[in-house]
Amino acid sequence: MHRRWLVRRTNREFLEHLSRNASISTTLAQILINRGIKEPETVRSFLSPSIDDLHDPFLLNGMDRAVERIKRARERDETVFIYGDYDADGITATALLLSELRRIGIRACYHIPNRITEGYGISKKGIEKAMACGADLIITADCGISSGDEIAEITSQGMDVIVTDHHEPPEELPPALSVINPHRTDSAYPFKYLSGVGVAYKLIHALAIGLGRSGSGLEEYLDLVTIGTVADSVPLTGENRVFVTYGLKYLNDDSCRVGIKALKDSAGVRREMTSGILSYTLIPRINAAGRLDDATGVVELFLTDDEEKAEAIASLLEEQNRERQRIEAEVYESACRMIDPGKLDSAIVLSDPSWHQGVIGIVASRLVEMFYRPVFLFSLNNTIAKGSARSIPPFHVYKGISRCSDILLGYGGHSQAAGLKLLIDNLPVFKERINRIVDETISPDDLVPVLEIDAGVKLSEVNFSLVRELSLLEPFGESNRIPLLGAKGVEITDYRVVGNGHLKMMVRQKNVSIDTIGFSMGELIDLLESATTFDIVFTPSLNEYNGTKSLQLYLKAIRPSIE
């Protein structure tokens, strides 16, 4: 896919000022400026995140009322019902709330809806289960913001509802006792990008303060917060960066939760857990249950201290993940056959009755990566089309589909991902309208992906010290991607294809040569015959072999030099 190369540049004088005053290299200074970090004080807090940097949870609208209601439930020995969601964010939020409420002596039960039979949000079955449990108070976890009618029904039954959610709110908030969501239009909370489990954590933090505790001791839940935060691809900045930095320590500790240890063993994870490793090992297995079946077992995995039970659940998740991969591959191939790359609309809208509803979101994400435009995939059942949408940064997909609300049966989500439901008969109208909305909202240039290069460097500047310095940027994730550096006019002195189609090269600039590997880039070998010098984009790393460490560049892009 063609990409526009964009090198971030800053006034040299300011760059050197920040470098000098924050005691960092100009390369790291440029990377931080690209991430909106431009003052020595904010540099220090970003590179050394502290639990003390978390904001007062009572700054969130509705927190006072929520804490008072939970305290009253405790005093009156009421039953609290946690209504969660079926993805990793909702599951971890549910487990966190259950753990803390039970720990402080509150009787708590829960429900995770079945994606296929109940769908997203509060369902009739879930309400019936809450009533059967004798619940007096329902707390939602990563859902509820778009369930106004269902919450009105719950309150008419004499139960109170506290909504904890992070999805975009509708114009009219649900009629709950308290709605805790940093995206509320009347919210002045300093950090808008909490995950669902992040909002849940803020609730138990506020509750601890309301019960006369400082909130210390809650750090043990940051493993769950980390899983949900990384899974939901919210920005790893601000409070999320604090959560994940601390949570990874708990995930890597030998005394981690029994369920997490079983999951790591089942997934064959032997390395130190990073946000990247977490995202392609544990998280797909956690999500597999909710995509194909019932995710209740995953909540139990996080709650149990029984090793045999944990191993059994982890083993089941392993099987479900393999089945998910098989189904996903079939749906992806089917969707690709429907697309003519030479006749692409601004938005890709596809549907099929054979597609499994649980995987169309993942397939949509893969199609966005391939064709770089918003994608809407629908699974058809009788008269209803249930869809998952994924977008590109220039297009806010929730705002886009909200302009189609008159033909939708329901929808919810945020800027880059959403779910929606409509009558099958309205699919042609939706396809025409969403394409018009995309065309009105973004330009044709926005449909060409940009390769954002954090800083241009000379190969002589790439050394062990720089690699160590760049590691301070971890954990990596949304809004804090692994840095990409660019070098112009390098020579390729040796190259070959190794392993499973990997491009192995030695790059040289003046008297500096560095080993380089381009994973799955072997097809570019013919390009290396087309010029004498090249521009490259890479991430520097340390390669260790037989106890010896050496510099190695992970190649991300290459082109003949442009003067």
Give the pLDDT band (50/70/90) at residue 513. very high
CB contact burial 107-123 (16+ within 10 A = b; e otherwise): bbbbbbbbbbebbbbbb
Q: pTM (2 decimals)?
A: 0.92
Give the pLDDT score at 1: 64
Fill in the DSSP letter of residue 482: P
- Do 414 and 512 reside in the same domain of the chain? no
Strand ranges for 375-462 from DSSP E: 375-381, 384-390, 410-413, 417-423, 450-453, 455-456
Instruction: Kindly state the average pLDDT of the residues 2-22.
Output: 91
Q: Quick check: is 30 in a domain? A: no
pLDDT tens digits for range 534-548: 999 999 999 887 778
Q: Quick check: is 327 in a domain? A: no
- Do 371 and 435 reside in the same domain of the chain? yes
pLDDT tens digits for range 166-210: 999 999 999 999 999 999 999 999 999 999 999 999 999 999 999
pLDDT tens digits for range 236-271: 999 999 999 999 999 999 889 999 999 999 999 988
CA atoms lying within 13 Å on the CB side of residue 410: 17
Handedness of CA 274, 481, 362, 287 (dihedral sign): positive
% of the chain exceeding 90 in pLDDT: 91
Domain residues for the domain of 247 are: 53-317
CATH of the domain at 456: 2.40.50.460
- Do 178 and 280 reside in the same domain of the chain? yes
Cis peptide before 475 (omega within 30 of 0): yes
Distances (CA, A) of 264 to 25, 96, 269, 307, 325: 37, 19, 5, 13, 19
Residues 6+ apart with CB under 8 A from 515: 504, 505, 506, 543, 550, 551, 552, 553
- Do 306 and 428 reside in the same domain of the chain? no
Q: Quick check: is 555 in a domain? A: yes
% of the chain exceeding 70 in pLDDT: 99
- Do 443 and 531 reside in the same domain of the chain? no
- Do 246 and 302 reside in the same domain of the chain? yes
Q: Quick check: is 280 in a domain? A: yes
Q: Quick check: is 13 in a domain? A: no
Which pair of structure tokens corresponds to residue 543?
């390669």
- Do 75 and 114 reside in the same domain of the chain? yes
Q: What amino acid is encoded at 204 in this protein?
A: I
- Do 541 and 498 reside in the same domain of the chain? yes
Domains held by the chain: number: 3
Q: Quick check: is 2 in a domain? A: no
- Do 252 and 124 reside in the same domain of the chain? yes
Say yes or no to pLDDT of 562 above 90.
no
Instruction: Kindly state the average pLDDT of the residues 100-121.
Output: 93
